[in-house]
A and B are shown apart, each in its own frame.
Chain A
């Protein structure tokens, strides 16, 4: 982490913007109006204040295809790349009407025919037609997803760093695991280590939990107190320079209970099958099949999702059969791959790894740190 707030590196910014502009051309979008944090950063290259959770849609960043010009909702220029320039900043506003007027004032707004937004609120669904009187308002998120899906070389470096910080945080939290410790203290240790390593913005905050011996995924107990023989899941998520790194591991508190070794063995065999499924040209459904071939029940969460700025497609879940069937893995994707095996009387072994799909095969971005 630097001692001042700087824009994202030029090569990163240029590479990402070129991908978005290409997608705008493919989809015939004159303007993109972006409200989602990850999309705004992807296009603008500007670090922004981190606030947890969903945010209501607002027009935070506008990209024009014809000129590549960017207008950004920022009251100051700290961290804003030079190519955006002070003259294309518009300050924070609390009034949707004010923001609509600002958009209306952009030179390209009057003539734009197709304007994409990455999300929408009912309020802005009513107001945006006033800003773009001659435009059809369409879904712009598919263009952003298509752009974000395949990573540039510079992005792989950034993702590796994010995953590295998440791994460091996870190791620190596992180091404090002992019978009698509390879930909340482990989460505190994880967050402290991640922050001390330079990332004060978590991607996930569910840090550590005791897996249930009675139910495949429910909370084991309400007091968060860790007992001997508990299988404790650790999930670290770091948002480093805008990129999400996620790592998951499971560790035993105190002495290993009978049967745990076998369960960890099944987890290892499952994750090996999952990694092997991350090949260019392979159907995404292979990741679901890996569970079946390993003799494990599908977990109560997606088996994989793309990593980048925020989430990227594909999201591989049995709940999304058509999306999964339509998806083929491609070189340049990075997936957070989740392993989850549960056995009654013992608990669950949870793993999450970042896998880079390359022509040469799957490349693990997660180090082996934190492995049992």
Chain B
């Protein structure tokens, strides 16, 4: 009765209007009159623009920048060529501007002149990043660091509109369809990087806008002691993909993410190379499924991150079924990992005070690991509803499962 009606394909114009309304409501809640957004995921969220993302080292030369005003129903967007030519745009033409270069003093001066014409004197302005040239400029627009624009955007992002859910689900379906072929190709002698090559080809053919993550095909160690050294003594994850050839019986923990319409997918499964799971390995999967079921049983609007963490631990004999440097689960949207992060060093108080609203997207990724089995880890994405949850992902657990 409370399930969301998620369209097969997102309606971009409606998504843009509803998201901007959410963002402006969050600005009102935080007492902010204007947002200056530099982070790719924030600009994408605020403007509905989606483009093929650059490497982190290149993406700040010329990058899309958004200015969102509390008293304007449309944000302004400053777009470089690469993104401007490729982006699907929603903002009206009189709100689109040519590129700005915030890494350079003259670039900042030019942006400040243009932004000051939009943002009234005395306005409360929040930014999400300060380049050195912005800090040095002394402009009133960047002077107030008491509110991080990321907090304002994060508040709006927490609840997804049905069209945003459709974007995430479409991203997941593209990923899963691409992964089907990769999994079929899995065999002794195949290199990790061969799996990546096949995955990116299919993902782009099927409509991915960007690859979000250097896909992970991590070969799990026979024991914690045999694994890579870590600061906490538990498992390392994720370890990078290399030319390494896979061997019969290798247990792989996989992780992949792409974007569609600006929204991310998240895929994770455990595979065995050229072999069926042993009885002990099946037990690992069953324990993982038992933990997931226990977590899902308490997942609903009004539950807290703490509730889910406790349910997971209870189902795992009192121990945390996640790695010390990670989480039991996390949100997802224009970033592959958004708030809430469940069970991290943000602490129990943070977890207990984080109450789930209906419409939140949540990735659950418990892990179990017993020496000699390679362990088990998979990821599932759900939407929080008033009385439970609604799954977005349904990829099979092969070769595990009953």
Contact = CB atoms under 8 A, between A and B. Distances in A.
> Are A and B associated in one complex?
yes
Interface of A: 1-5, 36-38, 47, 49-57, 74-79, 86, 89-95, 98, 118-123, 125-126, 139-142, 184-185, 187-189, 191-193, 195-196, 198, 200-207, 209, 217-219, 237, 239, 244, 299-302, 305, 309-311, 315, 317, 319-323
Contacts of B213: 49-52
B55 A237 contact: yes
B55 A50 contact: yes
Contact of A2 (B105, B215, B230, B242): B242
A148 to B, nearest CB: 10
Given A3-B242, A51-B212, A305 B204 contact: no
B33 interface: no
9 contacts: A3-B242, A37-B55, A37-B57, A38-B57, A54-B40, A121-B130, A125-B145, A202-B211, A315-B62
Interface of B: 38-41, 51-63, 80-82, 84-86, 98-101, 103-107, 110, 126-133, 135-136, 144-150, 193-194, 196-198, 200-205, 207, 209-215, 228-232, 236, 238-245, 259, 324-327, 336, 341, 344-347
B54 A53 contact: yes
A50 B214 contact: yes
Contact of B61 (A121, A125, A141, A315): A315
A49 B214 contact: yes
Contacts of A77: 228-230
**Most chain A Cβ neighbours within 10 Å, of B54, B130, B147, B212:** B54
Given A5-B240, A203-B55, A302 B85 contact: no
B110 to A, nearest CB: 7
A319 B81 CA distance: 13
A78 to B, nearest CB: 5
A205 B61 contact: no
A93 B147 CA distance: 22
Given A76-B229, A121-B148, A185-B205, A209 B200 contact: no
B57 A56 contact: no
Contact of A206 (B52, B100, B205, B214): B52
A323 B39 CA distance: 24
Contacts of B243: 1-3, 198
Contacts of B203: 188
Given A1-B193, A52-B211, A218-B85, A122 B130 contact: yes
A86 B55 CA distance: 28
A86 B230 CA distance: 9
B58 A203 contact: yes
Contacts of A198: 193, 243
Contacts of B103: 141, 315
Contact of A185 (B40, B104, B127, B204): B204
A195 B200 contact: yes
A92 B204 contact: no
A71 to B, nearest CB: 12
B280 to A, nearest CB: 26
Contact of B107 (A184, A192, A319): A319
A192 to B, nearest CB: 4
A196 B197 contact: yes
A195 B256 CA distance: 15
Nearest to B240: A5
B212 to A, nearest CB: 5
A258 to B, nearest CB: 25
